[in-house]
A and B are shown apart, each in its own frame.
Chain A
Amino acid sequence: MSVYGIIAVGLISCVLVLVVKQYRPELGLLVSIAAGCVILLAVLSKFTPVIEQLKSLVYNSGIKKEYLSIMIKSLGICYLTQFASDICNDFGQTSLASKIELCGRVTLAVLSMPLMITLIETVSKMVGTS
């Protein structure tokens, strides 16, 4: 699916959401969720080769592969929390949306803790305080 196709799907589903929302507001929101799922599924299938390329690049350069996997994981968590909080915003529940975003931030902090510890240890070794 090219960019043009995704743009077309987005515009058409905008019109459909508006039409359905007039009569049944709750079903209109569900149409928008469906369109979001379809578009994201179409984009994600294109993303796999990029990650494979990145992985082979990092493996060849000698960087530890755990670092890259943490980065890719946090990217996935970002996409998921953004998707969910956007849906909550569409439903008008801004407080729920911000809580989901907070949850994503906490998960990212927990995930990147080992990296932070490694960084701090490296710096303190260089400075010579440890």
Chain B
Amino acid sequence: MSEEILKALMQLFALIIKQDGGVEESEKAYVRTFLSKQLSSEYVSQYYFLFEQHAGLGEESSSSPPDAEKLTPVLDSVKVLGICRRINKTLHQNQKIVVLVRLFELVNADRKFTHQRMAIINTVADVFKVPKEETSSIEKFITSTKPSEIDDPLVLILTSQEESQDTTLHQHDPQETGSIVFLHVPSVGLYFFQYTGEQELFLNGLSINNQRIYLFANGSTIKPPRGKPLYTVMWSATFCMKTLIREYP
């Protein structure tokens, strides 16, 4: 990710989560983790400082109560538009979808889905020209408290649990209590997933965290503790089948 885009993202992260009562510890932790996955440790502090500056951290007195009803300042709204226009000129559409996913994930870190914050994210999606139904599916996929129960045409769930909805596929593993939940973003051909269980799963050989959303990029493999690996191409075909079944029952 380029320096320019990372700076823009820090500003965007800050502008979103400073609304409605201010920045929470879990949100700060999300930003740090996000940066540590993009940068070497020496640069993390530099970009995190940028985030703090834009979020106005340390400017307010700790004794002042958070103003939860405050409206989004007009300047913040216009700054968001400016950042999105810069991103529009630099990133491809699939990269913009990844940015949008990270914005939902950021707000999900403390589950503070206030009207002002969500209005900003929805405006970002609008400026990025993300189809509304995809934005809605992304939001549902990330913010649902029970991802394994999402009923959405762009979501598929791989589970060992007894389920009946048509978003569910079964795997036979009596020891597995969690599910792998996949999201398809058809406009850019991307797949994301999250894991709700407690066992150790590997994405391309690296252990995954069940609190995070992962991009399931072309050529990737998910290795469950037991059973066969899952490949991107399988899920691409599975989503196609699901679409066909839905459209031609």
Q: Is chain B found bound to chain A in the same assembly? A: no
Residues of A within 8 A of B (CB): none
Residues of B within 8 A of A (CB): none
